[in-house]
Amino acid sequence: MKPKDDEKLRAIAEATFALVEQTGLSGLTMAAIAREAGLATGTLYVYFKSKEELMVALYEQAKTTTAASLMHGDDPKAPFRSRFQRMWMNWLDHRLTHYAQVVFLEQYYNSPWFSEESRNLSARLIKGWVDLIESAKAQQILKDVPTVLLINSFGGSVRETANLLRSGALARTDENLAMAFGLCWDGIKA
């Protein structure tokens, strides 16, 4: 069997993410993905036997990339606030530079394809992040509330800041980013 071409796999992923950003996950078809990727539909089926197989593979790819970007450059010896600020900026930068991929992740999360296996993958990928939050809670640095609430507050701050930046309603300046993170931090710190 001939190995799969990495360039075609990249084209399939980019096409899928772009189409989901434009039209949403529910109306997505394999034919549209193939057309956007510049492939024959039959070729797409050589790479992925079904739309479900493609969605699951792309979720794993996108979630892995996103989780890795969150913890990039983390210094375990730095103060918690500095670590959280770096992660907030990492997540913001990832969201802005990989917007179509993030839209895909959000829609996948709310789709029938999001399974227990997807949930377990996500938990494994963000374990370091969750451990950091738990440690900060134990040291009374973060509020003693369910960790999922802290993660969602943090992620919501990133999402809405990115939306403001993308729309032009907020200029991307160091001062504005510091204020946005400060609001997030004030909401989660103990």
Residue with tokens 């109306």: 27
pLDDT at 146 over 90: yes
Show the tokens assigned to 24. 């949403």
SS3 (DSSP) at 131: helix
pLDDT at 1 over 50: no
Percent over 90 (pLDDT), the chain: 94
User: What local confidence, expressed as pLDDT, does residue 3 receive?
Assistant: 62
φ/ψ (deg, to 5) at 168: 90, 0
- The model's pTM is 0.90
- Average pLDDT on 151-179 reads 97
Taking only the tens place, the pLDDT of each residue in 11-29 is 999 999 999 999 999 889 9
Taking only the tens place, the pLDDT of each residue in 101-141 is 999 999 999 999 899 999 999 999 999 999 999 999 999 99
